[in-house]
């Protein structure tokens, strides 16, 4: 239904949503290009950043083109298998992104607390395995969700989803039969991913902070903490919108439904937009490479 309650504004809403999607695609493709071209960026932190860029492209592309189709053409129809596929992509790659943030926290921990062994611990092969592990975890955790709906709950009370995309809870509310198993499984996965991952990241940063406080000079402390600033910003950009949206969905019964739906759209768009900006602004090597690319293009013109 797009944004239920704001149907009359769909054509106007398409302007900010379309612009944000374009910024997300251009920003993440630029990050991928900059890292692939510049050999000095072939380091664990930037490989993880490339993984984040790919994940953000998948998350935004799995929802925004369909949403823009609803805004522009009223193309609200979606097949059941396509709906379940969209649901899988959204929840799977959100889970994968959380795993990549955890891997990046491990990278920062090793780089600061055990810098002499950083290159031997986090080799290219290890970085690849960590990325693959995050992907497999997402597939294993989220894979059962669409299968449980397809096999256990084949009948539906309604065929209209009061949402912009096929989110798990929005689809479950339409089904006939006992959905408690699906609800418990979905909540358990949310706990495992968001709570345990964020706790592990917090523990790693407590250890990092202790190591930084043991450094001799204030300048060394500031410089070392500066290497973590982009990662911390990206974590907050990812977890805070999800937490706010989830809390409002669970407890904000007096919040108008359009606000629920708008927040659910923003938490899939905000990280893909802000992650490239944060890393381009906060990371000197990426910023230098992007400026070099812009200068080369200016000379060609």
DSSP secondary structure letters along 18-55: HHHHHHHHHHHHHHHHHHHH-GGG-SHHHHHHHHHHHH
According to DSSP, residue 12 is labeled H
**pLDDT block averages, 10 residues each, the chain of length 301:** 91 95 94 86 91 95 95 93 95 96 94 89 95 97 94 89 91 90 90 90 92 82 82 89 76 79 87 88 74 66 64
**What pLDDT score does 289 carry?**
72
The pair of three-digit structure tokens given for residue 286, joined into one six-digit string = 């990426």
Q: How many residues does the chain have?
A: 301
- Within its chain, how far is the Cα of 284 from the centroid? 23
Show the domains of the chain with their CATH numbers. 7-300 (1.20.1070.10)
Three-point CA angle 14, 25, 261, nearest 5°: 40
pTM given for the model: 0.92
pLDDT at 152: 87
What local confidence, expressed as pLDDT, does residue 40 receive?
82
Please work out, in degrees rounded to the nearest 5, the angle formed at the alpha carbon of residue 275 by the alpha carbons of 274 and 277. 65
Closest by Cα among 37, 296, 62, 42 to 167: 62
Segment (H or E) for 144: helix 144-152
CA distance 274 to 276: 6
Cα Rg, the chain, nearest whole Å: 21
pLDDT of residue 81: 93
Furthest C-alpha separation in the chain: 66
pLDDT at position 294: 67
């Amino acid at each position: 239904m797009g944004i239920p309650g704001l149907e009359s504004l769909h054509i106007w809403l398409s302007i900010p949503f379309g612009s944000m999607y374009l910024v997300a695609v251009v920003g993440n493709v630029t990050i991928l290009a900059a890292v692939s071209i510049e050999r000095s960026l072939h380091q664990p932190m930037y490989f993880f950043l490339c993984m984040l860029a790919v994940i953000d492209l998948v998350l935004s592309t799995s929802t925004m083109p369909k949403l823009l189709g609803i805004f522009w053409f009223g193309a609200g129809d979606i097949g059941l298998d396509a709906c379940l596929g969209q649901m899988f992509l959204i929840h799977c790659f959100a889970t994968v992104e959380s795993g990549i943030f955890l891997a990046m926290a491990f990278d920062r921990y090793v780089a600061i607390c055990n810098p002499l062994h950083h290159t031997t611990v986090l080799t290219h092969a290890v970085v690849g395995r960590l990325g693959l592990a995050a992907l497999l975890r997402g597939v294993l955790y989220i894979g059962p969700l669409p299968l449980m709906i397809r096999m256990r709950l084949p009948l539906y009370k309604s065929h209209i989803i009061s949402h912009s995309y096929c989110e798990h809870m929005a689809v479950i509310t339409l089904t006939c039969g006992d959905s408690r198993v699906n609800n418990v499984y979905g909540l358990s996965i949310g706990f495992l991913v968001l709570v345990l991952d964020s706790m592990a990241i917090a523990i790693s940063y407590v250890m990092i902070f202790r190591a930084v406080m043991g450094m001799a000079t204030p300048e060394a402390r500031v410089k070392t903490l500066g290497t973590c600033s982009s990662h911390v910003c990206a974590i907050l950009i990812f977890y805070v919108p999800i937490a706010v949206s989830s809390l409002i969905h669970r407890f904000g019964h007096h919040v108008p439904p359009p606000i629920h739906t708008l927040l659910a759209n923003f938490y899939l768009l905000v990280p893909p937009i802000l992650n490239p900006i944060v890393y381009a602004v906060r990371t000197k090597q990426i910023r230098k490479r992007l400026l070099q690319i812009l200068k080369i293009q200016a000379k060609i013109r």
